[in-house]
Structures are given as C-alpha cells and as structure tokens.
Amino acid sequence: MADAIYWERSDYQSRVDARAGEIESFVAAVLDTIDIKATKASPRRWEVVCRFFGGCARAAKAQGSTPGGGGKRMAAYLAEQFPAHGEGSNDGFFEFMDWLNNRANFQPTKLRLALEQG
C-alpha cells in the first residue's frame, strides 16, 4: 500500500453536521402541525409524539460517523426532549430523512397523521 493516496478535504462539512444546528427548527416545524397543548394533556397522545421523535433520533444515528458528530448530537437532543421507549416510529424516521435530504421543500405531515390514526 505504499502507493496509496490519503487525502482529506479541509473545507468539508457533511450535511448531517450542517443540519445539526437546525434541529430545533425541525422540531418546531413538526410540532406546528399539531395542537401541542392538547397533545401534552393526553399521556397516550404524548407517547405517540415521543415515539415519533424517537424514530427521528434513530434516523439521525443511522447517518453514521461524521466529522462533527452531527447525527449523535441531534439524536441526543431528540432523546432528551422526547424520551421514548423502544426504537421509535418509522413515520418519524422517514419524516426526518425527508427534512435532512430536502430542507427547502420540507412539509411535515406524518406526526399529525399518526395522531389522527391514534
């Protein structure tokens, strides 16, 4: 392997690391789609919210290791704000991935739908 070339981009920032500072705006956008006061008043409905964001945390962790640890930071924030039992919902996982991949056109809908379905 004497001929191997090792290089590193000094100006590189992964999209996961770039989005980590925006996790609160993601949460706010999702929560704006529901009546948060009424939802918090119902333990069953609040559990749906926590499972949803647990799925988001699982998606953040699934991004793997990044130079700035963005996925881990986002997952830790979500777990602290929305403690959930289990691995979280697939709805949350895919909603998070939609935001991560196309923030400009992100339209959250899945949490509201999950609450409507009960």
8 A C-beta contact, residue 78 and residue 53: yes
How does pLDDT run across 16-43, given as a tens digit for each residue? 888 888 999 999 999 999 999 999 999 9
pLDDT single digits (tens) 12-22? 557 888 888 89
Pair 86, 54: CB distance under 8 Å: yes
pLDDT value of residue 7: 46
Contact 11, 88 (CB under 8 A): no
Q: What is the mean pLDDT of the chain?
A: 89
pLDDT digits (tens, 9 = 90+) for 60-82: 999 888 888 999 999 999 999 99
* C-alpha–C-alpha distance, residues 20 and 78, integer Å: 11
pLDDT recorded at residue 13 = 58
Sorted by sequence, the CB contacts under 8 Å of residue 50 that are 6+ apart come out as 82, 83, 84
The percentage of residues in the chain with a pLDDT greater than 90, rounded to a whole number, is 67
Question: Do the Cβ atoms of 44 and 98 come closer than 8 Å?
Answer: no
- Written as one letter, the residue type at 3 is D
Degrees to nearest 5, angle at CA 117 with 112 and 118: 95
